[in-house]
A = this chain, B = another copy of it.
Amino acid sequence: MEYEGADPGTVRPGGRTARVRAAVLRAAGDAMAEGGFAHLDLADIARRAEVGKTTVYRRWGSVTGLVADLLTDMAEQSLPRTETGSLLDDLKANARLVQRTLTDPRQGALFKAVIAAATCDARTAQALHRFYETRVEEWAPCVQQAVARGELPEDTDPHEVIRAVSAPLYYRFLTTDGHLDEATADRSAQAAVAAARAGVYTRRA
């Protein structure tokens, strides 16, 4: 009577298991970028990954489960952050990074699909939240430095400022057909700085 509840892939995570996971996650990303969330089919992903259909169903169970795993994988690979010494420039760099990501054909489609998946399943939503939490955490220091330099009020919430930079870009990305250009990215950084300076993001406000 062993532990039968152990998820497949957790007892022997190395070798073939790891290769299969990498291939499937890659294939899932490709499929989402090409067809979007709705047309996603686990059998097709298995074919792309040159892996048995049964394996995909056994290890991930559903499309949303697979996306959740993909998101935890994405959260682990972090991107380098700039460090210019100026809050506005740092936030502009962040905004342009987001803008480039969402504008890129493959990445943009991928993010759309991932967001769609997260709205359909609680576990996937948690994975998405964690992904953005790590991204926000990575960029928070540049706000903290601005606070230390006296550019911003003492009790400014760094996370809120970083989120304020991304928010307009994602909002445009999802709810308008206007294209996201660099000027838009710069505006969102400027807006975040203006609001932060005005003390909107202080914790006690």
Contact = CB atoms under 8 A, between A and B. Distances in A.
Interface of A: 36-39, 63-64, 112-113, 115-121, 125-126, 128-129, 132-133, 160, 163-164, 166-168, 170-172, 174-177, 187, 190-192, 194-195, 197-198, 200-201, 205
A202 to B, nearest CB: 10
B176 A168 contact: no
B177 A167 contact: no
Contacts of A201: 187, 191
Nearest to A178: B129
A170 B163 contact: no
26 contacts: A36-B119, A36-B120, A38-B64, A39-B120, A115-B115, A115-B119, A116-B116, A116-B117, A116-B119, A126-B177, A129-B175, A129-B177, A132-B176, A160-B187, A163-B176, A170-B170, A170-B171, A170-B174, A170-B175, A171-B171, A191-B191, A191-B192, A191-B195, A192-B195, A194-B195, A194-B198
